[in-house]
């Protein structure tokens, strides 16, 4: 199976590198600067599960040939339109496009671009970063990937998804091929929107928020608003997912923050519109009070406006 990985950053580089280790036929679609890095040093990964370096087949957009069997889309949500243009030549009649983006809005956009029959659903969890030298650094032991067909995905795509699971099972990565992927996406959306909204709005970790008089209450209000949106959309989070999030958001020792906060404090662009903004819009469309989500989205919008204003 020919797999094209869009991007060789923290996410694409890590999971793509593991697929190379497993013996997969993997190509990376990257920009020229990253291609030069990979040509010189290979793909270098530092991981608690074992450091490794592998030579990779890295291509730029003008070098794409025949369509891939599966395209693994690992980009930031704000780069989605550019990504769609980039992978277009690699998407054939039977290609499966598997995004690993946060939120759910990208599913609708990819379906509009390529047809819902070609789009599957995916989600991953890994604390990782890309160094200026081009090395992928896994910051903690978690490296989980979940994927599966969506309601409109073509039946024959199961073959590609099964093969992807078989490849990843040869690696240390925790992998799951699930039947109800849209529910899994909504469950993560609920948790991520809560985490991103609260840690960005309060500019602190869970422990900092819970140390305040109203932190626990605001965290609960935010989570309940997000959960209500999921229910209104027809996706009721399962008890296990709800219990895990409630435990996470009640841990007074936790130094967890959303990666969005790191982007925000670093003065960079964030996925605020794709996660918090989208959740607010869906809440309003369903007649649900967004609660603290409203202030969080205002905060993220103001920060982005300031970033662009000062850049000018």
DSSP the chain: -EEEEE--SHHHHHHHHHHHHTT-EEEEE--HHHHHHHHHH-EEEE-TT--EEE--EEE-GGG--SPEEEEEE---GGGHHHHHHHHGGGEEEEEEEEE--SSSHHHHHHHHHH-GGGB-EEEEE--EEE-TTS-EEE-SS--EEEEE--TTS-TTHHHHHHHHHHHHTTSSSEEEE-S-HHHHHHHHHHHHHHHHHHHHHHTS-HHHHHTSSSHHHHHHHHHHHHHHHHHHTT----HHHHHHHHHHHT-TT-----HHHHHHHTT---SHIIIIIHHHHHHHHTT---TTHHHHHHHHHHHHHHHHHHH-
Provide φ and ψ at 119, rounded to 5°.
-110, 125
Domain membership of residue 71 as a residue range: 2-178
Q: Quote the pLDDT of residue 34.
A: 92
Q: What is the CATH number of the domain that holds 241?
A: 1.10.1040.10
The answer to whether residues 109 and 83 belong to one domain is yes
pLDDT in tens, 51-101: 999 999 999 888 888 899 999 999 999 999 999 999 999 999 999 999 999
Structure tokens at 260: 């969005």
What's the number of domains the chain is made of? 2
Q: Quote the pLDDT of residue 63.
A: 86
Domain end point (choices 153, 178, 203): 178
The answer to whether residues 66 and 197 belong to one domain is no
The answer to whether residues 32 and 150 belong to one domain is yes
The answer to whether residues 20 and 52 belong to one domain is yes
Q: What is the CATH number of the domain that holds 47?
A: 3.40.50.720
Domain end point (choices 178, 213, 245): 178
The answer to whether residues 16 and 161 belong to one domain is yes
- Which helix (DSSP H) or strand (DSSP E) does residue 41 occupy? helix 32-41
Provide φ and ψ at 68, rounded to 5°.
-85, 160
The answer to whether residues 148 and 235 belong to one domain is no
Residue 84, CB half-sphere, CA atoms under 13 Å: how many?
17
Q: Quote the pLDDT of residue 129.
A: 86
The answer to whether residues 165 and 55 belong to one domain is yes
The answer to whether residues 187 and 174 belong to one domain is no
The answer to whether residues 204 and 160 belong to one domain is no
Which is the catalytic residue, given 2, 76, 170, 188?
Answer: 188
Q: Name the packing angle between helices 80-87 and 105-114 (round to 10°).
A: 30
Q: Quote the pLDDT of residue 234.
A: 96
Active site residue 76: no
The answer to whether residues 266 and 169 belong to one domain is no
Q: Are 129 and 139 in contact (CB under 8 A)?
A: yes
Mean pLDDT per segment of 10 residues, for the chain of length 312 residues?
94 95 95 90 93 92 89 94 94 96 95 96 90 90 94 93 97 95 96 97 97 97 98 95 92 92 93 97 98 98 96 89
The answer to whether residues 243 and 140 belong to one domain is no
Domain end point (choices 148, 178, 208): 178
pLDDT in tens, 74-88: 999 999 999 999 999
Provide φ and ψ at 29, rounded to 5°.
-95, 115
Q: Are 286 and 229 in contact (CB under 8 A)?
A: yes
Which bin fits 203, alpha (ψ -120 to 50), beta or left (φ > 0)?
A: left
The answer to whether residues 203 and 284 belong to one domain is yes
């Amino acid at each position: 199976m020919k797999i094209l990985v869009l991007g060789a950053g923290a996410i694409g580089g890590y999971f793509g590198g593991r697929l190379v280790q497993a013996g997969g036929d993997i190509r990376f679609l990257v920009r020229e600067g990253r291609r030069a890095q990979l040509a010189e040093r290979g793909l270098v990964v530092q991981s608690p599960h074992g450091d490794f370096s592998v030579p990779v087949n890295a291509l730029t957009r003008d070098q794409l040939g025949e369509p891939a069997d599966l395209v693994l889309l690992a980009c930031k949500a704000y780069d989605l339109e550019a990504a769609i243009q980039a992978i277009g030549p690699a998407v054939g009649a039977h290609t499966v496009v598997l995004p690993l983006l946060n939120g759910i809005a990208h599913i609708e956009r990819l379906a509009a671009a390529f047809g819902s029959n070609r789009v599957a659903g995916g989600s991953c969890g890994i604390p990782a970063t890309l160094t200026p030298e081009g090395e992928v650094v896994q910051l903690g032991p978690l490296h989980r990937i979940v994927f599966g067909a969506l309601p409109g995905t073509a039946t024959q795509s199961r073959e590609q998804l099964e093969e992807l699971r078989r490849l990843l099972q040869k690696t240390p990565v925790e992998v799951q091929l699930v039947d109800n992927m849209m529910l899994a996406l909504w469950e993560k959306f609920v948790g991520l929107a809560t985490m991103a909204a609260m840690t960005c709005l309060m500019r602190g970790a869970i422990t900092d928020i819970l140390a305040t008089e109203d932190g626990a209450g605001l965290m609960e209000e935010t989570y309940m608003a997000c959960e209500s949106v999921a229910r209104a959309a027809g996706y009721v989070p399962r008890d296990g997912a709800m219990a895990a999030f409630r435990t996470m958001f009640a841990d007074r020792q936790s130094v967890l923050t959303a990666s969005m906060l790191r982007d925000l404090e670093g003065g960079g662009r964030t996925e605020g519109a794709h996660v918090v903004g989208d959740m607010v819009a869906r809440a309003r469309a369903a007649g649900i009070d967004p609660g603290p989500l409203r202030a969080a989205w205002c905060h993220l919008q103001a920060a982005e406006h300031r970033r662009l204003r000062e850049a000018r």
